[in-house]
Amino acid sequence: MPVINSLAEAADEITQWRRDFHRNPELLYDVPRTAKVVADKLRAFGCDEVVEGIGRSGVVGIIRGRGEGDRGIGLRADMDALPIEEESGKPWRSETPGKMHACGHDGHMAMLLGAARYLAETRNFAGRAVIVFQPAEEGGAGARAMIEDGLMERFAISEIYGLHNMPGIPVGQFGIRPGPLMAATDNFVIQIEGKGSHAAKPHAGVDPVLVGSQIVNALQSVASRNVDPLKSAVVSVTTFHAGDTFNVIPQRGTLKGTVRTLDPGIRDLVERRMNELVPTIGQAFGARARLDYQRHYPVTVNHEEQTHKAAAVAREIAGEGAVTENTPPLMAGEDFSYMLEARPGAFIFLGNGDSAGLHHPAYDFNDGAAPYGASYLARLVETGMPA
């Protein structure tokens, strides 16, 4: 079946919800207005249960189907925005300086609300639809917080699904793959302690700029010489600070950066090699170099059975030729990875057309994608738990 008729007819209303979220962005766990709007709408739709404050500020709605069944399928949308000054120029642009929905979470919420209303009205399934609105995807690990707060057990979730809009994929098309879809995201800080001196007497000091430069070069060998070339790793040094003036060799320097991997074994390898290289290079130049390696989101790994189910539903909505089941993985991160570690499920990309990129100040969610995303989410429940 194509896009669900009632959701196509509700497109203007879903757009209004989305643009209201867009005008009123909130960050991380501090989403009181957003969470209230979501909870109020879920209650108005007739959800059987609405629970607030899961994982600090998450919202969960329960919709019971007409048929008997003890399974629960979770559908998740993220709620938080980004600390970016918007430059889209849209009439519905952010009204909060320094904050904007630059990743399309406003669209994700609107689509899930549309699906929730449809499911609450029709209830053409057996079991429970668990509607999950999650805070703090943008670096705050809100998915992990909800899981630690009992999300999966309390609401008896058997499988869980999420989606993300994707610029560059045409509207009305989907992309998915089994296995790793998005990368583990780790950060690192390297502190270098040298010996300050006058710039005209470099022999009297230990230059942390030189030491840091050698470390930057050496770290590039990890991906190019230690990682299997058929696998993927990114090691990027993104800040390098040492000193503040022309004629002083500084006492210390700091490097910061990120590591992205698609395989847990490669993740371990990169961290191990960095721990070997950094202090050794510092010592070789007479300095002390210390690595603080910080693991963040794990790899987003789609379960094979649920990936095929999700792709089949997407084909029902968009057509046979509009779903790519071997879309290339991305080295960006996503905390839905925690949910996929906790339960079987799948994450899919939904086309946002020729828009500005994610996290760009001119980005805006394409409202034309909403009927496809909302229909996909609703049909996951109906096909996964037939009445």
Q: What are the binding residues for Mn(2+)?
A: 103, 105, 138, 164, 359
**Backbone φ and ψ of 291, nearest 5°:** -100, 130
The b/e string for 72-110 (b: 16+ C-beta within 10 A; e otherwise) is bbbbbbbbbbbebebebeeebebeeeebbbbbbbbbbbb
Bind-site residues:
103, 105, 138, 164, 359
Q: Read out DSSP for 5-60?
A: HHHHHTHHHHHHHHHHHHHS--BTTB-HHHHHHHHHHHHHHT-SEEEEEETTTEEE
Q: Which residues contact 282 (CB under 8 A, 6 or more apart)?
A: 192, 211, 215, 288, 289, 290
Q: Which residues contact 218 (CB under 8 A, 6 or more apart)?
A: 277, 281
CB neighbour class for 333 (10 Å; exposed up to 12, middle 13-18, buried from 19): buried
CB-based contact 111:374 (threshold 8 Å): yes
Q: What is the C-alpha to C-alpha distance for residues 355 and 350, in angstroms, rounded to an integer?
A: 13
Q: Which residues contact 121 (CB under 8 A, 6 or more apart)?
A: 6, 45, 46
